[in-house]
Structure 1
Amino acid sequence: MGDNANSNESSSPSLHLARSPPQPSPIRLSKFASQKMRILVTGGAGFIGSHLVDRLMEAGTNEVIVADNFFSGTKDNLRRWIGHPDFELLRHDVTEPLLVEVDQIYHLACPASPIFYKYNPVKTIKTNVMGTLNMLGLAKRVGARILLTSTSEVYGDPLEHPQKEEYWGNVNPIGVRSCYDEGKRVAETLMFDYHRQHGIEIRIARIFNTYGPRMNIDDGRVVSNFIAQALRGETMTVQAPGSQTRSFCYVSDLVDGLIKLMACDDTGPINLGNPGEFTILELAEAVRELVDSSAKWKVVDNTPDDPRKRKPDITKAKSILKWEPKVALRDGLPLMVEDFRSRLGIHK
């Protein structure tokens, strides 16, 4: 799998555990000749990843490498950068080792939609565990800082509301969602183990529901489902009971938070999400008003282990990162609707 599991590791773990890990160094110029920061983004062809790549490339101070196996991402999300001298796109699965020279790693690779991760749960947990091991091995070899995009799903169906980073969660370890929920929990464990044992510079973001342009149209998540169904003239499917809550963060706000977290001196985990809380029925009503006032919805059976409440406590993000979301749901939804109209070829 990479540096993490080969014979170069000491046969006596106590030798590693006895020493104090090196202190994290401040943000620095690239180690490499160009003096531009060399950044790897795994999963960079996906929804969030491609928006992050846009921001990193637009800065003009970075060289960006994207590694993606295109299971849920698409080259089309990155078309504006293909051929740019500071951009490189690799078809690569993170469950296999990757040898590149970089300063920073944004590790986003993992299907985040229930439709995708339930389709191949074994592959999903391998991506979370082996993929994270491989990226940590790379970070150790080249001295890179690594940021893991974890998830609010580590809190499971929470018994605490809103959710603080100190909450350990209420997760079913053998459910149909466990490949994702428990996979991300293990990934967080690996990040901290490498940090404590090897002094790797780590950052962990726990991402709450995020929406915006470039979401997969049929990815099974509630915002994209409702918009696509309303645009197609279909009945919106509200999972029972409809009173369960979610907090929706616009993708540009999330990307701001990820970049701030990478640049800060705190390991995390830090919640990144919008604390505005809406029921699923309230979201359905907002989409109906925006897309088609005659649209209807029906209540259908819910999926197992679906959280009843989801709302981030972003006190840490505010104090440590000086970050909080700026885009309200009423302002972000129309931007996503226009993107979906364009891709579906549906005009007003």
Structure 2
Amino acid sequence: MTPTLSADHRELIADLSGIVSDYPYADPESTLAVLAGDAGEALGRDATSPEGSRERTGYTILLHATCWYVSSRIFSKSLFASYVQALEGLRAQSDRTACACPAGAHPADLDSEYEVEAGVSMLTEAGRAAFAEDYGLDEDELAAFDCGAFLADLADEALGRLREAHQELFGGIDVSPLDGKFLRDDDHIDIVAMQEALSRSWEDNTGPVALWSARRWLTGQLRDEERIGVFLCLWMGIDQSYGGLPPSYARDLAAALDTIDLDVTCEHPQHPWSTADSTVRSRHRAVVHLYAPDDHPDTPVPAELSARELWECPVQYAQLAREALKDLEGWRTMRGGDDEDWED
């Protein structure tokens, strides 16, 4: 009789494969939370039993296969904690010194989808038999997946990735090196340099520029003529961070936006930004012209809307702040996590 996986395990492979290929159709946060929870429960069983050994192998492989998604796509402290706790427990059960495998015997260069199939299959004898048959593995090749050294390497790699990502997503971000790029010798802010940094999208500058702008705004160390430029750099950094920025950025961005009074009115029929907001390029042209008109004479803002009074109108600030706050709320929805993950 041909060995087969259970229906539940076939569904698990499908769900996890969608996640690691970055095209999830099951909810990633809840699916991975259940996976980490199941791995944690397995730690309570006898690790020396056949079932315990199979689960140690299967869950170590699965948590390794999916840790990149937890590290970069879901901003949830509780999910990080569940993964780290499970991986630390599995790592403690993996004895690196017991390895008797010949050189080159460990599975290597595994892509995430293959790891998902391997990990789920390793959880049961029927799954192992089906996996070995599908991939033409002999007994020794299948046994290499159970090697303590192989599993320890996977757990260590996953834990290292998770710990580094946790700091990047939830810790403090140092943007002070940008002082040297955005502050002139007289301590004036170089808005044009900030705009040039934003325009170099291939350098992933949007988040750091937005965060630097937010922190400068919050310090109040701004000349009157610099306010709208810094705020527009903050706004553009948020708007151009299409995949969303993590809580390590969003906290200060939200704090800066919260300083804007949203309950304001004016009698202006139109504001300058409404004429510049069609494309990223037109926004850039509008801002650099505002601060260096001789060097950048081209602007989408017509002369009748170029007065500083219009640029500095509280209603324009309020409109921009509302849009940016909406973006931040969208990041929370898209990236998950609890409210406190975004606010601590």
Which TM-score tier does this pair reach, normalised by the shorter chain? Answer: under 0.3
Structure number with the higher helix fraction is: 2
TM-score (norm 2): 0.23
Normalised by the size of structure 1, how large is the TM-score?
A: 0.23
More strand by share: 1
Structure number with bigger Rg: 2
